[in-house]
Structure 1
Amino acid sequence: MNTKTPELIDGQPRAEHAHTGAWVAGILRSRIAHGQLTPGSRLSEQALASAFGVSRNTLREAFTMLAAESIVKRIPNRGVFVAAPGADEVREIYNVRRSIEPGAVLWGELDEAALAHMEAIVAEARAAREAVDITAMANANQALHKAIIALTGSRTLERLMERVLAEMRLIFHAMASMPDFHSHYVERNVELVALLRAGRRLDAAERMRHYLDAAEAELLGHLEDNA
């Protein structure tokens, strides 16, 4: 009996089955969502195929999946690059978020463990703001919205949110010239979690809707000013 522990890449076991392309896409998507791959980064077929232990055909399959999600972009005769979302992508992302996040807040399975987890996240965000750690604030923001979708108990929605968060991370890079972008959403997140703790889920869902509208408007305004 083979009891060999599978090789881990980014904490996930290396795939040995027919869905390896999806596995590679998931690893790259996660790296983008965590800011490890930034807009404009070139994704080398040779280097990644070697690192993941997969064929170039498998890697190309993964690139095709990510291109369909607008996370990477193929440029003829140059290669594959991490995308830099524009205004249309921002609008689409926030259409998706308005469709699922308020519903998760309103109807998701909310228990003490979920509340404690979200309260820990916003506490980390406050600490990051005090330390003027923009990356940590962005990470906390991403973690909170991921936790909100987890309330649904739906793996399909969680996978969708992983895609959305990857695109959001790319958009956040466009806000590099506005270091306070994340800071003024810290207290919005704190207030949202406080409403959930108080059992005011309808108010929390409405607050989430206004939150998303405000963030979209700010991002679109910034992109327009820098066009």
Structure 2
Amino acid sequence: MAVGTAAELDRGTMRTAGHAHTAAWIATVLRRRIAAGELTPGSKLSEQALSTALGVSRNTLREAFSTLAGESMVTRIPNRGVFVASPGAEEVREIYRIRRMIEPAAALWGEVTPEALADMEAIVERAQAARDAGAVADMADANQALHSAVVGLTGSASLLMLMDRVLAEMRLVFHAMASAPDFHSQYVDRNVQLVERLRAGRREEAAAGLRAYLDSSEAELLEHLADESG
């Protein structure tokens, strides 16, 4: 499915943005669309449609594509075009290498403010409601939001930018789990437990539990990918 209409890319917002005509800004917009699940694995990114919709030159758009290709967000296929990537096992391993280094450290040493805790508690409540309603996409959204909030405890804009990239790639991985709708539901209670530990000041338990959580999630994803390819 080709992607790149003016409506899909919120052209009005783009034109009012201060960085609307830079490759970095275009890469950010496309990355956010991937993170939101609006651009799915295998979708073709039409160069002509995108350059028209965004009001930028094809050269600028190609720079953005190069940035996203370096992040494993898109794949260039000679004589066919640019497509949203479909991450495989090695990409999953790399995602979790990054997450294991950042997230437990954020839980252990980040600044856990009352405001941050309130935000995280609201997120897990949203996840619980989504689970009860059987809303898989909403559970995935809440899961992404919680892990971003954990990294937000660091107060580092650079780490948050890195996490945005990781979570965008995670969203692509989630599409591979479409045949396992209970994948997200089993982590809702773990997320609740994580926030409870942070609330209680049990930072070491929170960090250790989060690492175990990430290990379990990675193992399940890799097993599912192996079954799919087999």
Q: Report TM bin, short chain.
A: over 0.9
Write the distance in 2 (CA, Å) between the matches of 1:214 and 1:72: 27
**Residues 71 and 12 of structure 1: CA distance in aligned 2, closer, same or farther (over 3 Å):** farther
Give the CA RMSD over aligned residues. Answer: 1.4
Pair 1:91 & 2:96 matched: no
The ranges of structure 1 where at least 4 consecutive aligned residues each deviate by more than 6 angstroms after the TM superposition are none
Q: 1:8 maps to what in 2?
A: 13
Q: For residues 117-152 of structure 1, what are the alpha-carbon distances to aligned partners after superposition, in whole Å with 9 as ceiling and x for unaligned?
A: 000000000000011000000000000011111111
**Which of 211, 223, 226 is matched with 2:225 structurally?**
223
Contact 1:14–1:52, Cα closer than 8 Å, also in 2:
no
Secondary structure in 1 matching 2:181: coil
Q: For residues 25-68 of structure 1, what are the alpha-carbon distances to aligned partners after superposition, in whole Å with 9 as ceiling and x for unaligned?
A: 00000000010000000000111111111111110000000000
Write the distance in 2 (CA, Å) between the matches of 1:55 and 1:169: 28
**Which of 102, 127, 144 is matched with 1:125 structurally?**
127
Q: 2:164 maps to what in 1?
A: 162
Gaps of 5+ in 1: 1-6
Percent identity among equivalent residues?
66
Q: For residues 67-97 of structure 1, what are the alpha-carbon distances to aligned partners after superposition, in whole Å with 9 as ceiling and x for unaligned?
A: 0000100000000000000000000000000
Aligned residues: 219
TM-score by length of 1: 0.94
Which letter maps to 2:13?
L
State how 1:178-197 maps to structure 2 within 5 Å.
Answer: 178-197=180-199
Write the distance in 2 (CA, Å) between the matches of 1:224 and 1:16: 41
In the TM superposition, what is the alpha-carbon distance from 1:15 to its structure 2 partner? 2.0
Gaps of 5+ in 2: 1-11
Write the distance in 2 (CA, Å) between the matches of 1:135 and 1:123: 15
Which letter maps to 1:118?
M
Pair 1:41 & 2:27 matched: no
**Which of 55, 67, 71 is matched with 1:69 structurally?**
71
Contact 1:41–1:82, Cα closer than 8 Å, also in 2:
yes
Write the distance in 2 (CA, Å) between the matches of 1:177 and 1:48: 31
Which letter maps to 1:8?
T
